Amino acid sequence: MPQASLTINPRFAIGAVDRRLFGSFVEHLGRSVYDGIYEPGHETADEEGFRGDVLELVRELGVSTIRYPGGNFVSGFKWEDSVGPAAGRPTRLDLAWHSTETNEVGLHEFSSWLRKAGSELMLAVNLGTRGVEEALDLLEYANVPSGSTLSDQRRANGLHEPLAVKMWCLGNEMDGPWQLGHRNADDYGKLASMTAKAMRQLDESIELVVCGSSNRTMPTFGAWEHTVLQHTYDDVDLISCHAYWAESQSDLESFLAAGHDMSLMIEEVVATADAVKAALKKTKQINISFDEWNVWDIERFQTVDRISGVENWPKAPRLLEDSYTVVDAVVVGSLLISLLNHADRVSSASLAQLVNVIAPIMTEPGGAAWKQTTFFPFAVTSRLAGATALTPRLVSDTYETSTYGTVNLVDSAVTSDEAGTSVFLVNRSISSATTVTINIASLGDVAVTEAVAIYDEDIHAANTLADPTRVALRPIETTIADGVLTITLPPVSWAALRLTPVE
Ligand code: AHR
């Protein structure tokens, strides 16, 4: 049986875990908003038309910051369309997803939903078809308390207090040829710098995220970050990373190593940011906002989901409605492990997305809401992750992947807080259970108060409308003897343990 051993020592800290690592993303795309979080006719809908069953699941998922309103959508979005009396709002054609946007749910409605969900707003501005002036207008509308035309308009529209939005994305995926207003790194860097400077003149307390690459395989990856940061180093706080993985895009062994790929991306972007820092002789450090990450079968979008035709602009079509399996959930768990292990340089992250669109939560109009398999590792990691990420001293057997070469069979992350220690583990072996021995002597006398896992004999099992609870968390056995905790992880599994001091 393959083996791994892990040593935990609370004195070896990576850094503080920013709660914003457990963020998500709601885009005006498909049934994310309409027939997702919002369905006025639904039996659980509240007075604003928001589904109560979905809100309950979002709270259980434990999402901190939610990025809004896109995504590709934002690059053609006129924010003014989405405020004021709902009946007078324009209906627009959304070019990004070839859909009709009615603007029935806009900035006010979404911020009210966020209050109910207990999450914080992260706003993206349109730097695709628009620029500095419109970004300033939105910032004035959202963050200025009163006394200017746009802040008073917000008050007249029913929001007396400013939204006080802290995190702002300077556009979306501007490196991607599919993006409305896509431009090269030099042109985007200049526009982002001008926009950031102007926005800070209006509100110096905001945190700004400049667009990094849409994924690590982009031909401009690395060079894009270098050029963009040369233009914006003084003006921004964070640079974004986006990445999606899918079993259909590689062999299963490589797919299971997605967390390894995410770690490489983070480390390469950190190296690039630090190289610009050195060349520009700066002391300030730029960190990462990994504001789109997930499993997503992009191939399916190319072949099934794409809508076209000048007369065909559906409202809230079923787009990007991936159905997630056990192996997808294990990969999502391993991606969270990678984020925790880079807590010193990743300050924020957004699981893309939240409801119906490549999402942990699914809904049926007039029907049920249910948890996809990927719901479980996210909810457990968000709930159990402590304030400090510890360095996992891990020695693991390895396996071969066609995409990344030799990769550890087991990966782990460890966090601690005043109340205890949490351990997150993944076994990437397709065929073997793996025994992990964890040296916990430094923790003193502790007991395992929670031990849960995701695994199944059918690694492609999924939760569906017909069978919404087919896959769920399972208890997993552990033993402790002489300061060593032993756990045997089934093939293709993810597990989380909570250790608390014995009184
Ligand atoms: O999350 C789906 C899409 O993926 C987003 O709109 C875009 O930013 C990315 O390409």
| Residues in contact with 88: Cβ distance below 8 Å, sequence separation at least 6, in sequence order | none
Closest to 338 (Cα-Cα) out of 243, 432, 433, 416? 243
Helix, strand and coil content of the chain, in percent to the nearest 5, comes to 30, 30, 40
Residue with CA nearest ligand 1 atom 1: 352
Q: Is residue 72 lining ligand 1, measured as CB closer than 6 Å? A: yes
Q: Is residue 62 lining ligand 1, measured as CB closer than 6 Å? A: no
Q: Which residues of the chain have pLDDT under 70?
A: none
Here the tokens at position 49 are 């038309």
pTM exceeds cut of 0.95: yes
Atom of ligand 1 at shortest range from CA of 320 = 2
Q: Is residue 497 lining ligand 1, measured as CB closer than 6 Å? A: no
**Residues 429-470: pLDDT tens digits?**
999 999 999 999 999 999 999 999 999 999 999 999 999 999
Q: Are 48 and 109 in contact (CB under 8 A)?
A: yes
Rounded to the nearest angstrom, the distance between the alpha carbon of 96 and the centre of ligand 1 is 10
CA 241, CA 221: separation in Å to the nearest integer?
Answer: 10
Q: Phi, psi at residue 386, to the nearest 5°?
A: -90, -175
Helices marked H in 221-359: 223-232, 252-255, 258-279, 298-300, 326-341
Residue of 120, 173, 225, 247 marked catalytic: 173
For a substitution probing ligand 1, which of 75, 213, 242, 322 has the most ligand atoms within 8 Å of its CB?
242
User: Vertex 105, ends 100 and 108: CA angle to 5°?
Assistant: 145
Instruction: Return the pLDDT at 299.
Output: 84
Here the tokens at position 114 are 């966020």
Query: Starting at the edge strand that comes first in sequence, how are the strands of the sheet with 484-489 ordered?
Result: 393-396, 3-7, 434-439, 484-489, 478-481
CA 498, CA 489: separation in Å to the nearest integer?
Answer: 16
User: Vertex 377, ends 365 and 15: CA angle to 5°?
Assistant: 130
CA 437, CA 489: separation in Å to the nearest integer?
Answer: 11
Residue pointed to by tokens 């667009």: 211
Q: Around 362, how many Cα atoms within 13 Å sit in the side-chain half-sphere?
A: 22
Rounded to the nearest angstrom, the distance between the alpha carbon of 70 and the centre of ligand 1 is 7
User: Vertex 240, ends 234 and 242: CA angle to 5°?
Assistant: 165
CA 59, CA 394: separation in Å to the nearest integer?
Answer: 33
Q: Is residue 292 lining ligand 1, measured as CB closer than 6 Å? A: yes
Q: Are 498 and 384 in contact (CB under 8 A)?
A: yes
Closest to 366 (Cα-Cα) out of 46, 28, 35? 35
Give, in order, the Cα–Cα distances in Å from 397 to each of 145, 211, 409.
Answer: 57, 37, 6
| Distance in Å from the first CA to the final CA of the chain | 35
Q: Is residue 297 lining ligand 1, measured as CB closer than 6 Å? A: no
Q: Are 444 and 14 in contact (CB under 8 A)?
A: no
Q: Is residue 287 lining ligand 1, measured as CB closer than 6 Å? A: no
* DSSP symbol at 51: B
Q: Are 326 and 460 in contact (CB under 8 A)?
A: yes
> Catalytic: 173?
yes
Q: Is residue 27 lining ligand 1, measured as CB closer than 6 Å? A: yes
Rounded to the nearest angstrom, the distance between the alpha carbon of 72 and the centre of ligand 1 is 6
Closest to 349 (Cα-Cα) out of 67, 71, 115, 123? 67
Rounded to the nearest angstrom, the distance between the alpha carbon of 420 and the centre of ligand 1 is 37
CA 503, CA 421: separation in Å to the nearest integer?
Answer: 15
Q: Around 199, how many Cα atoms within 13 Å sit in the side-chain half-sphere?
A: 32
Amino acid found at 306: R
Rounded to 10°, the helix 149-156/132-143 angle is: 50
Rounded to 10°, the helix 258-279/326-341 angle is: 30
CA 473, CA 463: separation in Å to the nearest integer?
Answer: 12
